[in-house]
Amino acid sequence: MSDCVFCLVARGEIPANVVYEDDDIIAFDDIAPQAPVHTLVIPKKHYSTLSDDIPEEMLGKLLSAVNRVAKIKGVDEGGYRVIINNGADAAQTVPHVHAHVIGGCSMAHGMVSF
């Protein structure tokens, strides 16, 4: 999708602080972080929602990249949240499948809510 903001990031047409990238996935820091670590992990190919018949292999790559991002950002041992909002009713604000990797602080007492 040519006008999707995440597609533009994936193509390098919008600058982003890229944390991880391979042939299929790109991860970059959120521009409005909700915690000390807030990184978005997206497939480079456009899928609007999880209902878009995403190949299982791509979903596996997405979750594998989430784990890599957590290690890169240093939250893998202390813990982190992985959130995928799917559709408007779930507060998905960008219609491109993406996982939020959120951490770097304790979330046990509601400091961050999604």
Catalytic residue among 38, 46, 96, 98: 98
Residue 16 backbone phi and psi in degrees, to 5: -155, 155
Q: How many helices (H) and strands (E) does the chain have?
A: 2, 5
Q: Is 46 among the catalytic positions?
A: no
Residues whose CB is less than 8 angstroms from the CB of residue 12 and which lie 6 or more positions away in sequence, other chains included: none
Structure tokens, 89: 């009713």
Q: Are 67 and 60 in contact (CB under 8 A)?
A: no
Active site residues: 98
